[in-house]
Amino acid sequence: MEKKYGDGLIILSVLAVLVSGYDSLYKADVFGLAGTQWMLIALVLAVYGVYAKMRMA
């Protein structure tokens, strides 16, 4: 269960990085957040995803 949870968090992290890139290129202001804020969200999701995958091992 936790491995799937970790994979999901890592996938969400990749999506947040893509949103960050889109926002930085087009100044779209997705959900009212800047590109750097999306990058911080991606970092937190990735850390939690790796932690969840390590707990399963």
Q: What is the pLDDT of residues 14-45, one digit of tens each?
A: 999 999 999 999 998 889 999 999 999 999 99
Q: Residue ranges per domain, the chain?
A: 2-56
Please report the pLDDT score of residue 1 as a whole number: 64
42 burial type by CB count under 10 A (0-12 exposed, 13-18 middle, 19+ buried): buried
Please report the pLDDT score of residue 56 as a whole number: 80
How many CA atoms lie within 13 Å of 36's alpha carbon, on the beta-carbon side? 0
Q: Using alpha carbons, select from 1, 10, 3, 4 the residue that is nearest to residue 48.
A: 10
Please report the pLDDT score of residue 29 as a whole number: 86
Task: Between 57 and 44, name the one with better pLDDT.
Answer: 44
Q: Residue 2's pLDDT band (boundaries 50, 70, 90)? A: low
